[in-house]
Chains A and B, each alone.
Chain A
Amino acid sequence: MRLLEIGNGNFVRVVGFDGGHHMQHKLRQLGILPGDCIRVVRQAPFGGPFLLEVGGREIALGRRIAARILVEETECVSS
């Protein structure tokens, strides 16, 4: 599953990335690594970004990036 398909308010666990080194580097820097738990907080209209909660912080990610984050639906805690 891809993060792009996840609806607001759901918790998911990151299982991997489907993208180049540069994008992965950026995401890992921000503390989004495989095994981490993410909550989708909200989505902006007009094809705008996702707002995620990761480790107690909020991060906005464009949809093109959200499409490259592989996740699984699971019970987890995002802090």
Chain B
Amino acid sequence: MRFVLIGQPNCGKSTLFNQVAGYKAETGNFSGTTVTYTASKVRVSGQVVEIVDLPGTYSLAGTNPAERETLRYLASNPVDVIINVVDATHLTQGLGLTLELLELQRPMVIALNMLDEAARIGLEIDGPRLQQRLGVTVMPLVASKGRGVRNLFVSALRIGEDAILPKRVRYARDLEEAVSSIVAGLDGNSLLSPDALAIKLLEEDPQVVEMISEAAPNAIELLAISRMRLQEARGQEAIWVVGAERHGLAGNLVREVVKQGERRVTWRDRLDSFFLHPIGGYLFLFIILLLFFEVIYGLGSALETPLLNLFLVIEAQLIAWLGNSSLIAQVLVGSLQGVAGGVAIVLPYLMPFLLGLGLMEDIGYLPRVAFLMDGLMHRIGLHGKAVVPFILGYGCNVPAVMSTRLLEERRDRFLAAALATLVPCAARLAVVFGLVAFYLGPRIALGIYIFNLFVIALTGKIISSLLPEDSPGLILEMPIYRLPTLRTVTQKAWFRIKEFIVEAWPILILGSVVLAILNYYDFADWFNLIIRPITWALGLPGEVGVPLIFGILRKELSLIMLRQALGVSNFASALSPVQMITFTVFVVFYVPCLATLAVLRRELGNRDMLLIAGLTVIIAFFGALAARVVALLVM
């Protein structure tokens, strides 16, 4: 038995999914958190059921890659029951999709979610009446609190077992005539119902048009005739007729089943007058971001020092035991350094960052940041949705690149991903603070961050002038503020930390081991020679070659290895202040780490990954050169 969860963005599908399957799908209080589908097997009344969480979509005719997933899934996979999750606070909007799903004529149940929110804003919904009008079971649900989840799945199981097919709601006569005349030309050989196919053809859904053009060219001829008739009768393009019909019907249904009681104004209604204020909004944004990073840095560095000291003691013990000369000893020490890098350098910053980010996501603040920054982002050729990759980039470039799926246009995804990889992540923060701030003072470190922003803006300007803009601009739903629960925020952070432990950490440990072996066999000089032209032009000692190359594995590695490569414990005795600045600026910009390259390849393909990697080397070289010239003039 297979259930699929279908609903509009931010209606709580993934929250419902996580309630029954454990935390497996990312959630957040904004549209588009789910960009691909997740499946899980669960037990309902003793039966094993597969539950599939599909990305949110406003209609089955999607406009971005995440939205198109739903129709593709329904057309190519057998589904026993559709669980249509509807946000009760936005019923008119939600029922539009419900009517569209009914066209599929598959066993279906409606989960009326967020009934607590609906009651809070004074909506009284007559569930039984809605059930009677639609001819489909309607179940009450508060997914975030787990209320009604059990009953929903038990009722879905019964509907699936009895294979109860719903009748679709009839539209106006001229539209129904058009549908039945197109159906006459179809061969009925599809997982989608003939009526649904005919309606999708009228809506000019590209996936269905392509499918039918091959399978039943007859229907396409009939379509042309019906379309012309409809257009004449309605005085509007046939492509929009079905959507308008559903919208109108949904509106009528809502007027029939929903009573608007007295609405109390609460703190949530007032928040936007502060957070979106033309002046105050930016002040709040600045304070929130500053506070956010202060907390991360404060907590992180407080944990890092004792943890690093602990590992130094263990390392000294290990060397005292095994000596320093054998290959085994060096490999063991290397892997210990890899473990230490994860525990002492990465996790202390990653944990508070992910908790804080989860909190901001669940409250619903991120779309507000997009709203405030849209005007400024346009000046570097992007719209406000790209703020999300930007903010995420300061933590880690990997989720930043993944979040570019929220953008509809490929050009925007490329531009946002390219710029996000230039944002100094938590790992690069370690290099900036460990080298520049420690030896030259925090002001120069701040200077590097400001220089970085300037370079990103300039790069954005240049790329966007090379790639013609075709995106229509920002279209984004502003969710209501929600009070996050401790459980979802910690579950979400743990879900993401687990990803780091499973995927990134092994690379860190492996990298350290490889370095130990290279050092043992004296291969390091070969690597130094490869990028000697770059280090020479930047006035850096040849020994920084290995740390720079290995920094591609993980950015902190370039700082840890620099000490080893230069053979000093105090950087000031081997590097001049200008060299420290040049080195750091180069590290901040050049090739994103291996994990980021991998995700760039997955999201954009091989060619764009290589293009972005090459671009970052060029930017890093000229950026470092410019920083060197300025530093030489000033210092």
Interface residues of A (CB under 8 A from B): 19, 21-31, 33-34, 42, 44-49, 51, 55-65, 79
Contact = CB atoms under 8 A, between A and B. Distances in A.
Contacts of A27: 475
B547 interface: no
Contacts of A57: 90, 93, 477-478
Given A48-B371, A49-B371, A55-B93, A60 B475 contact: yes
B260 A28 contact: no
Nearest to A64: B473
Contact of A64 (B58, B96, B472): B472
Interface of B: 58-59, 61, 63, 89-90, 92-93, 96, 239-240, 243-244, 247, 260, 272, 276, 278, 367, 370-376, 378, 383-384, 408, 472-478
Contact of A59 (B272, B375, B473, B478): B478
A65 B61 CA distance: 21
A65 B474 CA distance: 8
A60 B478 contact: yes
Nearest to A63: B473
A28 to B, nearest CB: 5
B63 A22 contact: yes
Q: Could you tell me the dominant secondary structure of chain B's interface residues?
A: helix
6 contacts: A30-B475, A31-B92, A34-B244, A42-B276, A49-B371, A55-B93
Given A44-B371, A61-B473, A62-B374, 20 more contacts: A22-B63, A26-B408, A28-B243, A33-B244, A42-B276, A44-B276, A44-B278, A45-B375, A48-B371, A48-B372, A49-B476, A51-B276, A55-B90, A55-B92, A55-B93, A56-B92, A60-B370, A60-B477, A62-B383, A79-B260
Contacts of B475: 26-27, 30, 59-62, 65
Given A45-B278, A59-B476, A63-B473, A25 B63 contact: yes
Contact of B376 (A46, A55, A62): A46
A47 B374 CA distance: 8
A34 B478 CA distance: 21
B376 A29 contact: no
Nearest to B378: A47
Contacts of B375: 44-49
A8 B482 CA distance: 25
Contacts of A61: 473-475
Contacts of B367: 60
Contacts of A60: 367, 370-371, 374, 384, 474-478
A55 B372 CA distance: 23
Contacts of B278: 44-45
B472 A19 contact: yes
A50 B374 CA distance: 10
Contact of A26 (B63, B90, B247, B383): B63
The 8 closest A-B pairs by CB, nearest first: A62-B473, A46-B375, A48-B375, A29-B58, A58-B478, A62-B474, A64-B473, A47-B375
B472 A62 contact: yes
A51 B472 contact: no
Nearest to B472: A23
Contacts of A47: 375, 378
B382 to A, nearest CB: 11
B374 A44 contact: yes
Contacts of A33: 243-244, 247
B477 A58 contact: yes
A62 B29 CA distance: 21
A31 B92 CA distance: 9
Please indicate which of the listed interface residues A22, A42, A49 has the most CB atoms of chain B within 10 Å of its own CB. Answer: A49
A61 B374 CA distance: 10
Contact of B477 (A23, A28, A59, A62): A59
Contacts of A30: 58, 93, 475, 477
A8 to B, nearest CB: 11
Contacts of B61: 25, 29
A65 B90 CA distance: 23
A22 B204 CA distance: 12
A61 B46 CA distance: 48
Nearest to B87: A57
A65 B173 CA distance: 34
Contacts of A58: 477-478
B374 A26 contact: no
B30 to A, nearest CB: 11
Contacts of A19: 472
Nearest to B409: A22
B472 A26 contact: yes
A46 to B, nearest CB: 3
Nearest to B273: A42
A55 B477 CA distance: 12
A56 B375 CA distance: 25
